[in-house]
Amino acid sequence: MRFERFSDRRLMAQEAVSTTSATLGDLPQWQLSDLYAAPDAEAFKADLAKAGVMSRDFETKWKGKLADAATRNGEQGLGQVLKEFEALEDLLGKIGSYAGLYYYSDMTDAARAKFFGDVQAKLTDYSAHLLFLTLELNRLEDSLLKAAIEGDPATAHYGPWLIDLRKDKPHQLDDKLEQIFLEKSQTGAAAFNRLFDETLASLRFTIDGEEQTLEPTLNLLQEPDPAVREKAAAALSKTFKENQRIFTLVTNTLAKDKEISDRWRKFEDIADSRHLSNRVERPVVDALAAAVEKAYPRLSHRYYKMKAKWLGMEQLNYWDRNAPLPEAANRTIPWNEAKETVLSAYGAFAPEMAEIADRFFAGGWIDAPARPGKAPGAFAHPTVPSAHPYVLVNYLGKPRDVMTLAHELGHGVHQVLAGEQGALMCQTPLTLAETASVFGEMLTFRALLDKTTDRRERKAMLAQKVEDMINTVVRQIAFYQFERKVHTARKEGELTAEQIGELWLSVQSESLGPAIRISEGYESWWSYIPHFIHSPFYVYAYAFGDCLVNSLYAVYQNAAEGFQQKYFDLLKAGGSRHHSELLAPFGLDATDPAFWDKGLSMIEGLIDELEALDQSA
């Protein structure tokens, strides 16, 4: 729904404030007062009431009259209908975005959770009054809709959205069924999503007698000391196992919920609903997955074998997978240095890109500190075109945290530019939504690499980038295959935690290769991956984006002037054009199976460079 999180949560104070540490410096917290001053602010209450009235009035005014509106222009025409609907989408999205961001700052706070749940319930009720629009539009004759688009400039503005909407037509149910699906979602899938979030936020992991939340514990897996990594892994495994009953229930319930929905909507494959929402064809995704799986030996298997040798081990333990190399500088990167690094890299590519990214720092659009109750991971939330996006990170000063900042700011820049399309056409399908984020990471990495002349430092940087790319491509396709196995098996009945763990280990072993020792404890690590819960089959979008950006960056390196403008045109398009149309100006075609091999070859090339550096030592 429009008010769900993006890829991903609320507020520690009503104004932008900072958390200071001796090593990280001042860490900003976001300023949600750009949306509303507080949950009990008069402006928020007024907008919530206004949204309810507008939704009911919109239904009364237009329900059953869209066929007639399609034959008219002006204030009685279809263009006017969509203009009013877009304004409603923006208002509802603003309300939902505030409630979500306020909640995600501390999901263990009962008052915030209640506020979020109450707002979600109201927005779902309001949306029920708007449900008729898309259903009724898709019952219009093709010829009538075509004539409306061609005959009325106001309707023509929304032409891409109307044409795109027709793709959902084969899977729509009748009005009453759609309303039941919508209203029951808040006590079904949405409720289990919230249970997962609040459970994850409340988990504590004990290391040497001290309790920590998830993010700092995961961060210890990047420590140079192998004993610290092993203790962190043991703590993670212990807590995950203790909570397997809840995570297993959530997974079983949501997989069954999806199976019921897919059956009623007549989707053939378990991932087809995701492909449809991504506006990508199943053969394209199948080709991507097949290309990555075929490349496992050349990428992850080969790299981890090299890394085991660098660390003086026959095999890496699963908790050593992201361990730093001996060559890696073991220092904490202050926030201001991370900021300058990313903005400098963005500015070298295009000053406009750096200017947009700088607004996030200057305007209080970023929440950076890791703190109890805060949503784990990182995300960029687009909110609505009438406002601005927000970025959440859990910044702990690691090199990967700098890359995460570059990634999420890439999303943010994309969301600002796509906002020009308006509330109906600004949302980019997930396959292209990762383009700007991964491209931002690549710009930052290349800028840092170009400044590095020391062989040992260069090796450490290349290794980290290869690991990030393996995590983005190989690991995400393994996640995708794990989800396919889980959802397929669930059709035969409920799965035990042990069965889910076996499926998890099977894909992990295959993707990571023989250089990684997968020992007892790792079977429960599927538990904390939020994408499995919030966006089933989302994960292949990361691999799609990484391979696409690898190809796109190769074009950039060899391009004459004009690449930047074409790139900004791609971002500004939002969801108004298909990926094939947006990639054509760059000479790229994701429907060509060889396209994925080009993207994967860049990762292989970096591994080649690492091997050459190793041999020259």
Instruction: Tell me the C-alpha distance between 567 and 559, whole Å.
Output: 12
| Domain ranges within the chain, ordered by starting residue | 32-187
Cα 246 versus chain centre, distance: 24
Provide mean pLDDT across the span 276-288.
93
Work out the mean pLDDT of the chain and round it to a whole number: 92
Nearest to 20 by CA among 28, 32, 30: 28
Provide mean pLDDT across the span 209-228.
94
| Paired strand residues for 205 | 212
Residue 617 confidence (pLDDT) = 61
Instruction: Tell me the C-alpha distance between 50 and 390, whole Å.
Output: 24
- Look up the pTM and report it: 0.87
User: Tens digit of pLDDT for each residue in 405-446?
Assistant: 999 999 999 999 999 999 999 998 877 888 999 999 999 999
Confidence band (pLDDT; 50, 70, 90) for 2?
A: very low
Superfamily (CATH) of domain 32-187: Oligopeptidase f, N-terminal domain (1.20.140.70)
Residue 193 has pLDDT above 70, yes or no: yes
Q: What does the DSSP assignment read for 111-151?
A: HHHHHHHHHHHHHHHHHHTTHHHHHHHTTS-HHHHHHHHHH
Alpha helices (H) in 185-225, listed in sequence order: 189-202, 214-219
* 316-317 vs 516-517, strand pairing mode: parallel
Lowest mean pLDDT among 83-87, 184-188, 208-212: 184-188
Lowest mean pLDDT among 18-22, 60-64, 584-588: 18-22
Query: Where is pLDDT greater, at 564 or 10?
Result: 564
Provide mean pLDDT across the span 303-326.
95
Per-residue exposure over 201-234, b if at least 16 CB sit within 10 Å of its own CB, e if not: bebebebeeeebbbbbbbbbbbbeeeebbebbbe
Residue type, 227: A
Residue 591 confidence (pLDDT) = 83
Q: What does the DSSP assignment read for 540-584?
A: HHHHHHHHHHHHHHHHHHH--TTHHHHHHHHHHTTTSS-HHHHHG
Highest mean pLDDT among 178-182, 499-503, 553-557, 587-591: 499-503
Lowest mean pLDDT among 8-22, 25-39, 148-162: 8-22
Provide mean pLDDT across the span 584-602.
89
| Residue with token string 């060559």 | 327
Residue 20 confidence (pLDDT) = 54
Q: In this prediction, what percent of the chain has a pLDDT beyond 90?
A: 85
Confidence band (pLDDT; 50, 70, 90) for 585?
A: very high
